[in-house]
Every structure is written in C-alpha cells, then in structure tokens.
Structure 1
C-alpha cells in the first residue's frame, strides 16, 4: 500500500506508520507537472496545497484516499473524487488554538506597537532620550476594546474566547442567510464599532475582496485588522493606501493572495507604516503540528486497517 505525501516539507513533523505493509514516500515539494507521475500507483495521497484536479485523480488508478493536511479541501476536485469512489478527508480542527493565539499575539503587537518600541531600544532613540523612557506611537490597551470577528467557525470562536478573557467586548459579524444573534451585527455596522477586526471566513466569490476600500473607509479611527484566513479576503492595494493615509491604525497579515509571494508584492514594501506581515505561520505551533501529524497517521491507519 503506497502512501505519497506531495508536499511533506509543509509539515515539519515527520509521519510514521505502524503498519509494515505501508510504503511511505514523502516528497518535500511537487510541481504541477510531476503530480501524475508521483501518484499514479499510490493507494493514498497526502497533500497540503498541491492541487489534485480531475486529470490527476483519473490518472491514479489505485487511489482510495486523499488526505488533505489542512482544514480545507479547495485544492481537490471533490466531484471527480466522488465519481471515482475516492474518499477525501481533511483535518479541520488541529490548529484552531494556534491560529487564535496568533491573532491575539499580533493584536497586542499592533495595539502596543511592540515592534516599533523594540527597535527604538536598539537604534539609539532610547539612549538619546532626555527621560528614563522613550515615548513614540500611542499605546492602546486591549482590555475594554471591541473585538470584531468575521466568521463563526472553530477558529473565530477560539479567538473570541481568548479575547473575552482579556476583557474585550466580542461582537461577531452576522452570518449571511441567518437571523442576527444578540452578539452579532451586520458586517457594515461591525466595521464601524470594532477596534480590532479579525477574519476567519473561507475564500468564496462572495468573500473575495470583502475588505476593500469601502469597507476600510467604514472602520473607526485607530482600528486594526488581522487576517489569518485567506489573503484575497483583503484588497491589498486598498489596505496599503489606508495604512499610508493613517485612516487605519495597523494591520497584521499572515496570508497573502499569492504564496509564496513575489518579492515585489505590494504588502512586502518596507515602508508601509504599522503593517506586520508573517509568512503563513499562524497555524504552525508545535502542538498544532503534532496534532496534524497524528490525525494524518490516524486517517491512513484507519483506511488500511
């Protein structure tokens, strides 16, 4: 039974299988033109971001399971998989706490300008101060502020739980097509009251560019935005403009619309004020990686028990 991991380097924790009948072949990465040759004899395929379309799935005559090492399955042609009797399984809950903690960590960094003040301690601004401290950008407390959450899934609820523990008032965006709950607001209204906005919705035609120029203009002065969902939820050019103009106080972005991004990506410019960009690592705590690895091993083990 041949198990192929197409982009194993995306999961630093190595997998192991107790069943001696399983032949495990991890590839660090796989280019689109190499997918078919690597999976044509596979019984199970593990993929994080490598796409398996109709052509690839039909070429894998022995394939019985596709295990997606992520919370979503948007890189798999689910209709073709169903037609061919190929089971598709994902791991939806391994990283909820990790992403939620990243949201709160970057929220503190933005509200308290941690990066700026740490730099001031080393670049001479503190030593040149006439006082015991160096006063720079305005520091805002997190407690007592309004935490706006767009997306009420596992991660959104986990981030909300942490925010409440910090004394924040949590408000959710109303779920489209559902009655508005007491702790929810229509998105247009949430934008106007949130001191921090965090995004946790999937990328769909309806959510593509949902935070654009108009949405950013609605946000209150001093607000910050955090995106650990999908890069294309936010109009990157509009975000940069809002930060440069000062209408938005800060942004923490862990996902871009193209990954890995080109060197000239608009959000990687060095002179954008109050922008914190991280390389899609919100999910990647050691505990989350261990949970993901264990769940993948379990999926494969159950399939071939």
Structure 2
C-alpha cells in the first residue's frame, strides 16, 4: 500500500481458516463470520478496508458500500452476485471476484442426491420400521434410471448435473437462450443434451432442476401455472436462487399430490423465518435445506482458496 501498511481485509461470513492463513498471510485480516448479523459493526470494520470477502448474506450495496470508501476488491465465496451491487462497484472501480467453478460439483451432487431420495421415497421409514410396522407396500418408490431430467439454465453447474444424471441412465434436456444452438455443450462426450423450449421442458420433465440467476425475467418463473404443466408426480429442485419459485404454489402442489416431491435449498427470504416457513408445515415429500447445496467440507476449502487467491492477487498487483 502507498503508506507501507499491509492491506486490510474484512471477512464477514464463514470461510476456511486454513485458506485465510495460507493465502492472506501478511495482510491485516479481520475474520469475524458473525459480522453479517451486526451491520453497524461491519460498517465500522470497513473503515479503511481494502478488501471485503462475503458469502451470499452480506448485502454489498448502499450504506455498506458508502462505509467502505477505500474498498478495492470484493471476494464472493460462491458464484451468485445478487447480494452485490455490481454496477455500483464498477462505477467506483471495485473489482468483484466470484469463486467460479469451485462449488459446481457440490451443487450437482445435491441435485442428483435429492432427486434420488424423492423418487425412491423410502428413506423416512426408520421410525416405522423400528416400531415393527414394516410398511413395505407403501414404500414402493421409483428409480432414477430412465427418467427425464429438465434443466432450466445450462451453465456450468447444470452441465455437471447433466453429466452425473447421464451416468445414472437419465435422459436430459435443457432450456437456455444464452447457449447457442451450435455450442459444443449440447453434445458432450456422454451423449447429446436435448435443447428445449421452456413450456416443453415443464411438460416433459420427471425431474426439473433450476439453474438460473434471480432477475426480473426469472422472478416467479415457477409458479402455479408452470407447476400445473408439469407431469403428475414430477420432482422439482431449486438450488439456484430464491424468488424463482413461488413457494406457496410448491407447497400446494405437494399437498394435492400433483408434485411427487420437491427440494428447496433457497428461498425468497433468507434466512427463512418461522412466519415465512409456516407455508411448509406438514407438507409431504418436501426437503428444505438452508442454502447449503454448494457448501461441503471439500467445496468450502476450494471456494475459500480461490477467493482468497483472487483477493490477494488483486491487492498485490495494484
């Protein structure tokens, strides 16, 4: 830095501490994963900070950016940028580095794992079996092989999901207007991916997985009307962004039996509080997880290292 002092880095959410020690050595680093829930303390900590590292909860916009007058770089421990005012950062010359690719496999495994769990439908039987009721006839579930997987969005995570699905014998189609028809992604080494319009994808998918950002165009994309077009017994998985799915419509479709299962890892309001979560009480065949699809022990190490390296590189090359 111009005055010879080390760059100041503030980390407001959880991160692999080994990556901090290895990649941010020699920096003035404040690691406090509780800062995200103490906005006044976070604003104070950003006084004189050169870098900020966040996950998805810290809102890097408005008052927070105003408090960080010396900020040069934001590292995002993940890939979505909807909690960061990227335009405002660009205007101020603040670089933003997402951890592109570092958690793709973790999300893909979540999608396939929850699809298998919801299709099979047998894994909640522990108490009944232990009690001696032996509910065998009631638990005749479905195999994933031969099922049709629909991917709304066909970026890196969706492609990793498709690769795993193909290995399990699924047929795969995707809708993504931003991937050109002649893009080689449609013809990977394990077989062709069907290009589909959105209506057909809803109507023909046994398992529908969402892989889109939250934008004006995607907000409410999967509402009551879209769900009604899905096949009876279909499974819906959203590990992309909350707000893309109408949560009340999903709950209603599960209660009615139209949907055979759903897994929601992201929500319109995060963290989900008891009031917003009331719509899901006693809903059958539902998996709710706290925005954890991309976070495993292994991916946390990768994401943390990639992000810390990007921040260090940016600060030392200035």
Q: Which moved more, 1:259-268 or 1:62-71?
A: 259-268
Alpha-carbon contact 2:16-2:304 (below 8 Å) kept:
no
Superposed counterparts of 1:1-305, under 5 Å: 1-7=7-13, 9=14, 11=15, 13-14=17-18, 15-17=20-22, 20-30=25-35, 31-48=38-55, 49-126=57-134, 134-175=136-177, 183-266=194-277, 269-305=280-316
Segments of structure 1 that go 5 or more residues without pairing to the other structure are none
Q: Which moved more, 1:278-287 or 1:295-304?
A: 295-304
1:82 CA drift (Å): 2.0
Taking the aligned partners of 2:23 and 2:39, their CA distance within structure 1 comes to 30
TM-score, normalisation: structure 2: 0.86
1:116 CA drift (Å): 2.8
1:13 CA drift (Å): 4.8
Taking the aligned partners of 1:122 and 1:268, their CA distance within structure 2 comes to 30
**Per-residue displacement from partner, 1:220-263 (whole Å, max 9, x unpaired)?**
11211111011211101111111111111111111111111111
2:123 counterpart SS class: helix
Flag the 1:105–1:113 CA change in 2: closer, same or farther, 3 A: same
Flag the 1:168–1:119 CA change in 2: closer, same or farther, 3 A: farther
TM-score, normalisation: structure 1: 0.90
Flag the 1:269–1:85 CA change in 2: closer, same or farther, 3 A: closer
Taking the aligned partners of 2:275 and 2:64, their CA distance within structure 1 comes to 32
Taking the aligned partners of 1:218 and 1:46, their CA distance within structure 2 comes to 41
Flag the 1:123–1:263 CA change in 2: closer, same or farther, 3 A: farther
Structure with larger RCO (C-alpha < 8 A, sep 6+) = 2
Taking the aligned partners of 1:71 and 1:303, their CA distance within structure 2 comes to 18
Taking the aligned partners of 2:101 and 2:144, their CA distance within structure 1 comes to 27
**Aligned residue number for residue 4 of structure 2:** none
Taking the aligned partners of 2:277 and 2:91, their CA distance within structure 1 comes to 41
Alpha-carbon contact 2:251-2:280 (below 8 Å) kept:
no
Alpha-carbon contact 1:200-1:228 (below 8 Å) kept:
yes
1:67 CA drift (Å): 1.0
Taking the aligned partners of 1:251 and 1:267, their CA distance within structure 2 comes to 16
Taking the aligned partners of 2:242 and 2:63, their CA distance within structure 1 comes to 27
Q: Which moved more, 1:240-249 or 1:116-125?
A: 116-125
2:270 counterpart SS class: coil
1:214 counterpart SS class: helix
Taking the aligned partners of 2:63 and 2:255, their CA distance within structure 1 comes to 45
Q: Which moved more, 1:97-106 or 1:260-269?
A: 260-269
